Amino acid sequence: MTTSQWLTIDGTIDNEVNIEVVDGDPAVAALGTTIRRAGWAQVAGWTGPGGSGGWPTDDHMVAVEMNEAQWRLVCSALQRWSRVSDELGQTDEAAEQRDARVLVMDQLGDVVSGWSGSRN
């Protein structure tokens, strides 16, 4: 995926974590935080408190390795927040979230059991 696609995921997970911290499930908030930290470490090279390698350019190809639970939350959050974006009239953001979800599901479809049937 591109850095821009990862930043769509990062922003979406940020929204998900914020909602879960206030009114939701602390375990989901914690899992979401691990997703964001994975991106920071693997994409931006943030290696320690306050340390930052900076984000690559938007079109730079990046790979983020995470476990199945993390990717499932990514897809669930992208689906949820694309609907919210649509409701708010943020059609470009909604399209980016839907596209990111399809990308993730296409990439992981052969690896994660039962993944291909969970696109809807």
pLDDT tens track for 30-57: 999 999 999 988 888 765 555 556 788 8
Instruction: Please indicate, yes or no, whether the overall pTM of this predicted structure exceeds 0.75.
Output: yes
Average pLDDT over residues 60-71: 93
Lowest mean pLDDT among 13-22, 36-45, 96-105: 36-45
User: Closest Cα to residue 13, out of 90, 110, 115, 100?
Assistant: 100
Task: Tell me which residue has tokens 């599901």.
Answer: 105
Q: Is residue 118 one of the residues assigned to a domain?
A: no
User: Closest Cα to residue 78, out of 109, 58, 100?
Assistant: 100
Q: Is residue 115 one of the residues assigned to a domain?
A: no
Q: Is residue 114 one of the residues assigned to a domain?
A: no
Task: Specify the number of domains making up the chain.
Answer: 1
Task: Share the mean pLDDT of the chain.
Answer: 87
Q: Within a 10 A sphere around the Cβ of 12, how many other Cβ atoms?
A: 26
Q: Is residue 117 one of the residues assigned to a domain?
A: no
Q: Within a 10 A sphere around the Cβ of 69, how many other Cβ atoms?
A: 11
Q: Is residue 119 one of the residues assigned to a domain?
A: no
Q: Is residue 116 one of the residues assigned to a domain?
A: no
DSSP state of 56: P
Q: Is residue 20 one of the residues assigned to a domain?
A: yes
Domain that holds residue 82: 3-109
